[in-house]
Structure 1
């Protein structure tokens, strides 16, 4: 799979912001020098839009970057403008979630907590269809099928991230899609927990209260040191992408959930018991 343009855009944005700040220039000054608006530069530096390679080169020269470094960063600008495979699903993919799919495509590890649902990367097609239809009751069958197809495509990467997932026990008790669909989903969960690099833990009802009850989140890490981690929090209205100290805060919460949950081996037994009970 080719490098994610979403990740490249974030990397270049961080570099441009850092370089401008090192020169002591304000965003308004830098924007005027290269002939763009201050708001356009702000969107570039916040990775909201891709930057045209000539504009990237102009900014880099303004900041005193030379030689191979400038060529490498301009190449990143070109790569960041390429289309990711997920953009073929723009008809059913909101912009706010498209950003996540782009980040996920190049993540080396995803640590996720889910209080109610099996995460999308571990869902079967039938389970995904039941969830999507419940979330979009007015959608046509064709639109639901497209959303399911997108979710399955996310699982097909040749460079899939390691997954460390903590699930509330409620995810083992809610028969999404009916008994047969749910049983197949639980079997899939066991298969994924056995996959090298993956860890699945169950936070049992007996654990009582815990941090982040009722609030799902994912912490994404990337193989390149230049790409800082991201926390993804989804809501009905959109999503939040958190960075910096907030990544450390959510990582601490996740560590607490890991310590509170059943071990991976015990969790596998709990999943099997849930299958046997059906």
Structure 2
């Protein structure tokens, strides 16, 4: 089920529909979810609509559809069909040069994503997250329970998959999905990752002592990676406040999309686009980063923990 949660929403357009995408806080489970490529197209169409002085309701009436259809297109939940694009072009008086750009965005939005072969076994909210991860130039994350997926060794990941709710017959396939996700990050030279690792996640045993020791050794190696920055939120430090909870922040180059925040629960995930809420999360993340251990202190703590797992 798709749920639009109340937030700092934009003014009503007169039809009961909230205009625009900003202000959205969406709880996703296993329904059609926004994808980054579609969101880029939807974001561009929204700017064109606003420049034309039209509300979403007015655009929907001229389009011959409902305000929810315009909302789904602008939010990236669905991609605009060619016939709808041509109507948008006329309604918004879009110049020929800009039409070519929008058609290119539409072509990208309609392409099958790399994770398509895993779409039957991965939840829709995870597919949305991976699409953000693919397009973002910087990913910042804090995970208090387990390590971020891009930091996991294959055996740590496999042990986590085995603890999950998926059928055992899908475990090998899900492991290949995670491996492909890592490979794509490794092959993206302009992408940066910053992770705050919670010490409690390192004390929570996954798999076996040998798996945990090798995972910790892997983290120490990652600390030398040019595009990865790791910090450690230590236990037993009263100045470290982790109330922010699991948070991943996606920044995009060229302002193709505003910053997006994602937080995951047991049965779904929250996609936050509301500007005030995003800003609060970013400030809380920065405050946690300031109080976390730097690379030198973190390396010493990781080595100490690795020795405990011997």
Tell whether the structures are fold-level matches, with TM greater than 0.5: yes
* Residue of structure 1 aligned with 2:110, choices 71, 81, 84: 81
Q: In 2 relative to 1, CA 207–173 (structure 1 residues): closer, same or farther, beyond 3 Å?
A: same
In 2, Cα distance between the equivalents of 1:168 and 1:70?
Answer: 47
**Residues paired across the two proteins, number:** 272
Report how far residue 39 of structure 1 moved. 2.0
How high is the TM-score relative to the length of structure 1?
Answer: 0.92
Tell me the residue number matched to 1:277: 308
Which residue of structure 1 lines up, in the alignment, with residue 207 of structure 2? Answer: 177
Within the alignment, does 1:97 sit opposite 2:126 as a pair? yes
The answer for the alignment partner of 2:156 in structure 1 is 127
The gaps in structure 1 that reach 5 residues or longer are none
Residue from 49, 55, 62 that aligns with 1:33: 62
Measure the CA separation in 2 of the matches of 1:234 and 1:203.
Answer: 19
Quick one: which of 155, 160, 179 aligns to 1:152? Answer: 179
Rounded to whole Å, the distance in 1 between the matches of 2:241 and 2:88 is 44
Measured at CA, do residues 254 and 147 of structure 1 come closer, stay the same or move farther in structure 2, by a change above 3 Å?
A: same
Write the distance in 2 (CA, Å) between the matches of 1:246 and 1:159. 29
Equivalent residue of 1:156, what SS? Answer: helix
Q: How does 1:1-278 map to 2 (within 5 A)?
A: 6-136=35-165, 139-157=166-184, 158-159=187-188, 161-208=191-238, 210-213=240-243, 215-243=245-273, 244-278=275-309
Q: Which runs of 5+ in 2 are unaligned?
A: 1-33
Q: Alpha-carbon deviation of 1:192?
A: 1.3
* Structure-2-length-normalised TM-score: 0.83
Check 1:46–1:147 CA distance in 2 against 1; reply closer, same or farther (3 A cut): same
Superposed CA deviations along residues 63-83 of structure 1, whole A, max 9, x for unmatched, are: 111121111112101110101
Deviating beyond 6 angstroms after TM superposition, the runs of 4 or more aligned structure 1 residues are none
Q: CA deviation at 1:269?
A: 1.5
RMSD of aligned alpha carbons: 1.8
